Structure 1
Amino acid sequence: MSCLKGGKKKPLKQLKKQAKEMDEEGKAFKQKQKEEQKKLKELKAKAVGKGLRVTGCSGHVTPPSAPPPPHPHVLRHVLRHVLRHVLRHVLRHVLRHVLRTPVGRRSQGQSGALKSVFRSPKSPYQRLSQWMLDISGDQGVLKDVIREGAGELVMPDASVLVKYSGYLEHMDKPFDSNCFRKTPRLMKLGVDITLYGMELGLLTMRRGELARFLFKPPYAYGTLGCPPLIPPNSTVLFEIELIDFLDSAESDKFCALTAEQQDQFPLQKVLKVAATEREFGNYLFRQNRFYDAKVRYKRALLLLCRRSAPPEEQHLVEAAKLLVLLNLSFTYLKLEHPTRALHYGEQALIIDQKNAKALFRCGQACLLMTEYQKARDFLVRAQKEQPFNHDINNELKKLASGEFQPPDVTSYKDRPSLTTVYFTLQHYRDYTDKEKEMCHRMFAPCDNGSTIGEK
């Protein structure tokens, strides 16, 4: 029993003793940990005070790295904000100082400072003029090429075909423009163009060129301007596109000479002048100015008919005459003069008997003159030369089907009697009935494999 009691008491005392020792060790460890944390805090405080960076739990101190650069947008925004704030502050201070100071007591230095603060920037035209080429020599006409052209420069006294738009400063809409026209008007330099600056600018351009010009008041509308559209002393901007030009001055001077003087020039000169007149007529024809086109064509024909050429160069004259005669025939058809159209068409056939265009023009003229058999002969000959020509085949089909109507006889000056009109219409009906039957067989499809014309 004693052994058992002794064995129980001894382990309990040891446990208590060990527990007490462990408590003391724990307190000592906590005290030591508190001291270390205190030292670490002191080290961190010293490092932060010196601008160093502390990393990790151990308090390792590393030198600070360079901060990343700010984003450009952020920097721009900050600078804009700072400048706006500074300028607002400066302007407020200057205005307050000026308003508080009487006018008589303001010094020249204050006035100069005020002018420098409120000095206006350069205008848009002034900034644009810095990059433009001076073509007048006194900064009066400035040019900026937008699209390059090709060929020769515009000749003095030439007739030009241009598209243009004129703008005033600080305005988006043009005060003058011809770009809305389908076919711009042909203008002659020195006659139809009133702006001296535009004439100087056009003389520096080539075909197809697009350029921008600045005209100072002496080269535009002067000191008075053109009220109320153009203010006084206005600098104007023009955008000009040179579509084409004709050297009509040379042809005008040549046509003003006598026949003896014209004979002294070589044949190539005559052909060139005649070609210029024909091109002039073509342009007028495209503008539906048929009478003016006829005048130009006749001038070209007169030059070619009046000039004699050696046999080896006669074909050049005949080729030029053929083009003019065809144009004259077509122009007279547009002017509703079928007799003259037939005359010039037959003159063209004398030069080239198989010319399909001349045969077609003669056929059209005969149709307007109600000479249907003669018209059919011309059209069939034209179809023989060009079987797949759409216009020729359409006229033949209209003539065969009776769709072609005779012209209004009341439009002629010499109105025929009712009897003449009746017999004319009756003859037209009889003719169309015969042509219907014949052309129906001509244009009918061959279903059974038979040839055209076989029953």
Structure 2
Amino acid sequence: MDAVEDHEDEAQNFQNVRLSEAIDIRELLDTSGATFEVDTSNENFENDTSYYDKEELLKCVKFDCFNAASDEDDTELGPGATPFQKIASKMINLAANGKVKKKVVRPGSGCTAPKNAVVTVHYNAYVEYGDEPYDSTWLRGYPIVCRLCEGFIPGLTVGIASMKKGETSRFLIHPDMAYGKMGCPPRIPQNAELLFEVQLVNFADNSAAEALQDLSLDDCQKADFNTILKAAQAEHLAGNQLFKKDEIGGAISKYRKAVNILEKCHLKDEEEEAKQQHMLLKLYINLAVCYNKQKASKKACIMCRSALDIQQRNAKAHFNFGRALLMLSDFDQAKHHLIAAQRIEPDNISISNELKKLDKKQRTYEDDVKKFSQRMFEGTSGKDDDPASKKCVVSADFENSAREYLTEFANNSEKVQMQLPSGLTAQEEFCIRQISQQLRLSVRSQERCGEKEVYVSKPQPE
């Protein structure tokens, strides 16, 4: 009763299996659980423990990390030296206790990253005798962006704090400064020393943002431009981090904050203006992308106009402008901006796909309007232009067709605005307005070339 059962032998009989579909982590974490379907075909499936695609692994593994542990120049260590002991012999101590060691592979420039900086880093991480990284931002396809003091194990925080922008270095980290005696099974064994190869892509000094955090906008305007620029860069990087986590509302908040302080700052010369405009261009485009994701297409249009005021030949601005206008069913203007984007980047597949989407959506829209017109006017209520008693006096067929059409529009996540057929009577328009109000849609009309146009649209996100 004092001993636990040893399942080691049983565990050795387990085999890896392939799932027929990828796991949705959100479903896995949900209290209701998740159902896995095993693919029993066994085609091209090897029962190994590799966590990454082999071709991608070959592209991303830094083989010179292993070469660093070669037998050259290790006569002092003796023949029994381990790979990490050989690597450590060519490093310097960053920590007084020797638990974080460093070797610069490619020098950077400028100052080192301050402790409260928002850093952008790529890395491969290895355990001793491991034949592949246990973690790799290169294999994931994007760097990690986070506060230096919050996002890393202690030894890596010490290491990155010693780096300059653009630098690539290796760090050997003692278990006490990593995952300790327990490790992090199955990838990181107990009491494991770790080797990191890190590239510091960029960093922004967040102290500037924190210094401006409690100041009013008027006081921010009086601050030194370099301080304002650093603060805007920090907010920009923080927004990028939130965007990658799909926290779009939080990203918008960060980008808007950076825009506000940059738009109001005082500029003393053309050099400062150029830096301001360069940063604002990035922020406007990022905001346009976020607003498009939120289906806030009108706000996206405003941001794209602001971006194009700075740089007329900007493919990203034209592309996102076209995407926003497409959601508003403004097909002609959407096509204009998408073609402008394609002229700048003719080989961009995303632009070509968006143009195909536009053509398909326009054809579908025209067919829908034609069908809707036929269905409504088959049961038309006549040409009485006076709604008089403010009652929806139309035929039952017209009301049912209008309700079905508007409900379909309200439930279509890809549409934010549509134009109604021309020739509606005042009674029919009033009926549509009543149904739209029930569905929380808005109706507006405008005159264009002497013709009345009526649009139904969804509410824009706050």
TM-score normalised per structure 1: 0.52
Q: Measure the CA separation in 1 of the matches of 2:353 and 2:81.
A: 67
The farther-off stretch of 143-152 and 221-230 is: 221-230
- Match of 1:337? 296
2:119 maps to which of 152, 160, 175:
160
- Match of 1:181? 140
- Match of 2:103? 144
Following superposition, the deviation at residue 196 of structure 1 comes to 1.9
| Residues 1:271 and 2:229 aligned together | yes
5 Å-filtered alignment, 1:217-366, equals 217-222=175-180, 225=183, 234=191, 236-259=193-216, 261-282=219-240, 290-309=248-267, 315-316=273-274, 317=276, 320-348=279-307, 351=309, 358=317, 361-366=320-325
1:192 maps to which of 137, 145, 151:
151
Following superposition, the deviation at residue 242 of structure 1 comes to 1.5
CA contact (8 A) 1:338 1:366 kept: yes
Deviation track 1:268-288 (CA, whole Å, cap 9, x = no partner) reads: 321332244335545665776
SS for the counterpart of 1:157 is coil
- Match of 2:326? 367
Deviation track 1:244-293 (CA, whole Å, cap 9, x = no partner) reads: 13224224313423125424421232133224433554566577664443
SS for the counterpart of 2:140 is coil
Following superposition, the deviation at residue 211 of structure 1 comes to 3.0
Structure 1: 5+ residue stretches without partners: 1-118, 410-414, 428-455
Counterpart residue type for residue 246 of structure 1:
F
- Match of 1:418? 404
Q: Measure the CA separation in 2 of the matches of 1:399 and 1:165.
A: 39
- Match of 2:169? 211
CA contact (8 A) 2:277 2:310 kept: no
Q: Measure the CA separation in 2 of the matches of 1:372 and 1:252.
A: 41
Change (3 A) 1:347 1:417: farther
- Match of 1:412? none
CA contact (8 A) 1:166 1:176 kept: yes
Change (3 A) 1:314 1:417: farther
5 Å-filtered alignment, 1:34-73, equals none
1:134 maps to which of 84, 88, 93:
93
Q: How many pairs were matched up?
A: 298
Counterpart residue type for residue 240 of structure 1:
E
Change (3 A) 1:333 1:405: farther
SS for the counterpart of 1:143 is strand
Deviation track 1:222-245 (CA, whole Å, cap 9, x = no partner) reads: 45655776566x350312221413
Following superposition, the deviation at residue 140 of structure 1 comes to 2.0
Sequence identity percentage: 25
Q: Measure the CA separation in 1 of the matches of 2:318 and 2:88.
A: 59
Q: Measure the CA separation in 2 of the matches of 1:353 and 1:210.
A: 34
RMSD in angstroms over aligned alpha carbons? 4.6
CA contact (8 A) 1:196 1:219 kept: yes
CA contact (8 A) 1:162 1:240 kept: no
- Match of 1:66? none
Q: Measure the CA separation in 2 of the matches of 1:144 and 1:397.
A: 50
Following superposition, the deviation at residue 142 of structure 1 comes to 1.8
5 Å-filtered alignment, 1:55-94, equals none
CA contact (8 A) 1:370 1:406 kept: no
Change (3 A) 1:132 1:321: closer
Counterpart residue type for residue 247 of structure 1:
A
